[in-house]
């Protein structure tokens, strides 16, 4: 750990700081909310969609480093928010950017990104060499850290270092219970169209999908509606009996934050009961990982994770016919992954990452149950992956 004598002195005008658990201190200019927050520092390579990233519950307890230098230049609006908590949207606790946030320049903007960050209690840090920080994460893994913003430039660095060191980290942490809905909800929103906003769900639609919310992005539910389903969203700890009492034609397992093995302590037994009942299942990200756990596989913590809207994934499963071998450009956000070497004979690997060969999709043999590690609802490609919603809803009859 760096000693106080070797830490960089606070530059003039520095109103924000990132303090890593190893004692590294990175100064910058704070924006958004004042205060401090602890989390795991990761990086995201997306060029657009920063508001969706910041409100994705999968980023709970994380500090996002954006590799694209100009973040915030299109402002903020109410339509690009992906979640809603009691005190503002769930998602990342803070973000790190290269350039200062400029005035918004977009016809959809309803305000500045800085104001939106402040209103929603999220801390920003600009003026940071994000390339150097990204290289550090790639080489040494995602560190625990504290991000802090003080308009007066007053910081207790030793206390911030101690807080970063004392934080347990994401491994072994169940975060789904923090970000899930507290009550059952009939999903109302339809798909978004330019100039029209979001449509409305048809309450008489069939089939009926019950979605387990482990920290879901709202656009997932909109895509299920677009594919023709009626959607009921239930909390993460909903029991098998309560799910079945709703009369589902299929069950969706949502994305979410934290360690899938920790969340799986209560979710996996329910998923196993659903598999035994031959209930059609579709999982995304955390839901995909817990489906794999329920089928007998294991998950692992990744060195740096996959986060961005430009990840190539190849279809490798036997069930894709002429499209086997096709490559999709996908959006990803995960720091844990299914260990492909632990997949049992009853599970087929259907998708793999072309970046590192990690598992990106599975199907349970003899069941209508499949999952993908990436986020098809994020419109990568931009429509490369919508077929997954059609495959799931279309197969429910």
Between CA 201 and CA 217 the distance in angstroms is 16
Q: Check residue 33 and report its DSSP letter.
A: S
Indicate the helix (H) or strand (E) that contains 329.
strand 327-338
Residues tagged active-site: 285, 375, 377
Nearest residue to 275 via CA among 371, 204, 166:
371
3-state class (DSSP) for residue 130 = helix
User: Would you say how long the chain is, in residues?
Assistant: 397
Which tokens sit at 221? 């539910």
The three-point CA angle 247-249-254 to 5° equals 100
Which tokens sit at 67? 């590799």
Q: Indicate the angle between helix axes 286-294 and 260-276, nearest 10 degrees.
A: 60
How crowded is residue 189: how many other Cβ atoms within 10 Å of its Cβ? 16
Burial class (CB in 10 A: 0-12, 13-18, 19+), 77: middle
Which tokens sit at 337? 């992954």
3-state class (DSSP) for residue 314 = strand
Spatial contact of 218 and 83, defined as CB atoms under 8 Å apart: yes
Spatial contact of 44 and 130, defined as CB atoms under 8 Å apart: no
Burial class (CB in 10 A: 0-12, 13-18, 19+), 150: middle
């Amino acid at each position: 750990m760096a000693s106080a004598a070797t830490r960089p002195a606070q530059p003039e005008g520095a109103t924000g700081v990132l303090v890593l658990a190893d004692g590294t201190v990175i100064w910058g200019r704070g924006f958004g909310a004042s205060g401090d927050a602890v989390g795991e520092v990761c990086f995201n390579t997306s060029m657009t969609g920063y508001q969706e990233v910041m409100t994705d519950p999968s980023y709970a307890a994380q500090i996002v480093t954006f590799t694209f230098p100009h973040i915030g230049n299109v402002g903020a609006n109410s339509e690009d928010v992906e979640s809603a908590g009691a005190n503002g949207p769930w998602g990342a606790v803070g973000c790190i950017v290269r350039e200062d946030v400029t005035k918004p320049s977009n016809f959809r903007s309803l305000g500045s990104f800085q104001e939106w960050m402040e209103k929603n209690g999220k801390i920003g840090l600009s003026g940071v060499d994000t390339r150097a920080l990204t290289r550090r994460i790639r080489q040494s893994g995602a560190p625990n850290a504290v991000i802090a913003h003080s308009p007066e430039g007053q910081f207790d660095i030793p206390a911030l270092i101690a807080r970063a060191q004392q934080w347990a980290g994401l491994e072994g942490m169940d975060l789904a219970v923090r970000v899930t809905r507290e009550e059952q909800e009939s999903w109302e929103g339809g798909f978004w169209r330019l100039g029209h906003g979001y449509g409305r769900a048809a309450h008489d639609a069939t089939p009926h999908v019950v979605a387990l919310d482990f920290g879901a992005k709202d656009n997932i539910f909109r895509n299920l509606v677009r594919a023709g389903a009626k959607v009921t969203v239930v909390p993460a700890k909903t029991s098998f009996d309560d799910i079945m009492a709703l009369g589902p034609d299929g069950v969706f397992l949502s994305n979410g934050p934290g360690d899938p093995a920790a969340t799986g302590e209560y979710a996996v037994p329910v998923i196993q009961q659903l598999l035994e009942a031959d209930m059609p299942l579709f999982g995304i990200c955390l839901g995909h990982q817990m489906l794999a756990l329920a089928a007998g596989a294991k998950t692992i913590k990744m060195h740096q994770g996959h986060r961005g809207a430009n990840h190539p994934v190849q279809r490798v499963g036997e069930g894709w016919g002429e499209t086997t071998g096709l490559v999709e450009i996908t959006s990803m956000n995960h720091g844990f992954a299914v260990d492909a070497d632990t997949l049992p004979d009853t599970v087929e690997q259907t998708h793999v990452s072309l970046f590192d060969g990690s598992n990106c999709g599975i199907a349970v043999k003899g069941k209508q149950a499949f999952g993908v590690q990436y986020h098809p609802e994020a419109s990568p490609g931009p429509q490369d992956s919508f077929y997954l919603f059609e495959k799931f809803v279309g197969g429910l009859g």
